[in-house]
Structures are given as structure tokens and as C-alpha cells.
Structure 1
Amino acid sequence: MKRRTKIVVLGSALLLTAGAATAATAATASDAPDAPAQREAAALTGTAKLYRSAGDDITFSFDAHLAGADKADPMKATGTFEWSHYVNGEGAWAKAKVDCLVTGGKVAVVSGVVTDTDLPGEKGKRVGITVHDLGRHDRLGYSWATTEDLGPKDLPRCVSSAPFEKVKKGTGDFTVVPWQPEF
């Protein structure tokens, strides 16, 4: 399998993980029924496949959240994201633990450290992903877009590329909750 294919698969797997974490966080609500619910400071959730004319099966899922109480520190974000990339039955997947989430309007940048993968030598590396929430026409980019593998282990938190990939029509949707820090 080509190294670039493995990298794309790893990116897809990370996104899948993030979507699951978002759903879990959204499910937890205040125990007090009369207490007003506090809005999350930021979130990136959802699952979708990317469009590739060659027919690659690339899926990203996110479940990333920044609690309202942590609104001043995007590095207190929690959750996971995962991705997978397969071509003709060959490929790879990866899952990462969120370590930063910054959103602005309908754009989110999330980073995390790879915690599980079938790509040799990639566990422990930080990766970043950018999502532009455009309804049914979302876009996505990833920090390893210009590297032969997932990139340097010392990638700073919340760093990624422009959202150059397109979500495949009818395969899912990402949702961005905009961050509103107090300046």
C-alpha cells in the first residue's frame, strides 16, 4: 500500500473517532432539571466520507468538545476523532485523542495525538484537521496534506491545512459550534 494512502486512511479514522466523542458529550446533561443548560464553548461533531474520483473510501468522524467552563482555554477540549482510507480493500485507519479545538463561525480546527492505528510508526504523533461546515457541502483539510506520512511528532496544537477536500454528497455532515471567547 502506498504511504500516502496510509496517511489518508489514518486521517479518516481520526475523524470517525471525533464524531463519536461529540455524541457522547452532547448526551450528558445537567442533573438538575430546572438548571439552565450551559452552552458548549465550541464543538465539532459528525461523520462523512470524502469525495475522490478514483473511488477511494475515506471517512472522517469527530466528537470534539470544549466545555463552557473552559471557554478561555481551547487546549482543554476533549473527545476523539478518527479516520480511515481504503482503496481496493487496502488501506489504514487511525484514532486520536483531542488536545485542542478552536472554531470561528463555521470553521473548526482540531488537533489530537494518535492513540490507535494500524499504520506502523504513527502512534503518538499529533495531527490537525480543519473542517468548514457548509451544510451539505462541507470541506475538510488535514495537517499531513503535504507530507509523506502524518508529519512531525512536534506539530503544534490546533494546526492544520486549508479545507481543500470535499465531502461526498449524501454521506454525512459535520457540525461546528462557534467559539465565542471573551476578549
Structure 2
Amino acid sequence: MHRRSTLIQVVAVGATLLALAGAAGSATASDAPHPGREAAALTGTAKLDRPPGDNATITFDAHLDAADKNDPGKAHGTVKLSHYIENAENPKFGGSAEARVDCLLTGGKVATVSAVITKADGGLKGAVGKRVGMTVHDRGEQDRFGYSWAMVGIPNDLPDDMPKCVSAAPFERTKPGSGDLHVRPMDPRP
């Protein structure tokens, strides 16, 4: 009888260990990163808070997959820029551009993204093939925005060797009610 009781205890302990191992294994599997999940993102559209006649709009659709979180240079997506001025000082200037994202870094509610311009028209035609960098501070109703061409003028004047993920501090504001920019911060844990 003692042997049978011991055997039942061994089987019960074994079954419990198997059940615990299975539960631990399934929890680990569900917590593991899945391809396609994002490590970071910068999305949304907003107008810059400029005087009447100066219309600048930016649209971000930049993403970094979880599998690439240690390599911000594997970010992907697009950035669209549009800037048109029509006032007494500038009778008419403007253009729009689209760029392919090649880097995305986020920290808290701040993101820096760089992208290479693939299409442009108007006054931005000379920027095709050049890299631009932009920084966003996601503040809710009125975000802040900065850009690498702040000191050189329009993106046409950027150097040809601009590094990835380089930009200026977010010194401009977006116009309240014109849209919203969203930063999905990276998880800093390894």
C-alpha cells in the first residue's frame, strides 16, 4: 500500500510539474516579440503655426518593427512635406515632397526621423535624393517640430552627406486643431 501511495504522489507531482511547465511555456511564448509588432512609431498630420499666407504641413507614417528595435536604421515608412507661401514679401513660393524613412529614434514623447526625398515639385525639386531630418515633441493639442534644414534654408540647400537621424530641436509649434502628431516611444529595456 505504501508503494502505491508513493507512486500516486510521484505521478501527481509529475503532472503538476508538467502543468506548471506548460503554463510557463505558454506565458513565455505569448510575451515573446512577434514579427510585425512595432518598437516605435511616429504618425499623424499637422500644420505648422505660421502667419497667414504661410502654409506648411507635415505628415508622418514612420515605423520601426520590434524585431529591429536595436537598429533604428531599419525604420520604414514615408514623410510628406508641403510648404506654400503667398504674401506681400513672397508673391508665390511653394512645393511638396515625399520621402522614404531610413531612421527612427524615439525617447518618451520625442522622436527623430530621417528620410530621403524621392519625389518633389515646385520649389522643392532640387531636394530629390537628399536626406532630411525632423524632430517631433508630441505634446497633445499643440506639438513641437524641428528640422535639419533650419539653418540652411529649404531642403534643396542640404548637404549631400547628411547623416541618418540628425535633426534640430523642435523649435516650431503646430497649429492647434490642425491635426496631431503621435510618438510611440521605444521600450528602453533590452
Q: Quickly name the TM-score band, shorter chain normalised.
A: 0.7 to 0.9
Q: Which residue of 1 aligns with 2:139?
A: 134
TM-superposed deviation, 1:40: 1.1
- The higher radius of gyration belongs to 2
Q: Using the TM superposition, give the Cα deviation of residue 87 of structure 1 relative to its aligned residue in structure 2, in angstroms.
A: 1.6
Distance 2:84 2:103 in 1: 27
SS of corresponding position for 2:141 = helix
How far apart in 1 are the matches of 2:134 and 2:162? 12
Aligned counterparts of 1:148 and 1:133: Cα–Cα separation in 2: 24
The CA distance in 2 between the partners of 1:116 and 1:76, in whole Å, is 21
Looking at secondary structure, tell me which structure has more helix per residue. 2
The one-letter code sitting in structure 2 at the alignment partner of 1:62 is: F
1:12-56 CA distance string (max 9 Å, x none): xxxxxxxxxxxxxxxxxxxxxxx7785410000000000112431
Consecutive unaligned residues of structure 1, counting only runs of 5 or more, are 1-34
| Root mean square deviation, CA, Å | 1.7
Aligned with residue 104 of structure 1, among 82, 85, 107: 107
Number of residue-to-residue matches in the alignment: 149
Q: Normalization by structure 1: what TM-score?
A: 0.77
* 4+ residue runs over 6 A deviation: none
**Deviation for aligned residue 1:139:** 0.5
Unmatched tracts of structure 2, length 5 or more: 1-29, 87-91
What's the CA shift for 1:77?
0.3
Kindly state the Cα deviation for residue 97 of structure 1 after the two structures are TM-superposed: 0.2
Which among 125, 132, 154 is matched to residue 120 of structure 1?
125
Displacement after TM superposition at 1:131 (Å): 0.3
Query: d(CA) in 2 for partners of 1:140 and 1:50?
Result: 8
Residues 71-123 of structure 1, C-alpha deviations (whole Å, 9 max, x = no match): 11100000000110112264111110000000000000000100000123210
Distance 1:125 1:70 in 2: 24
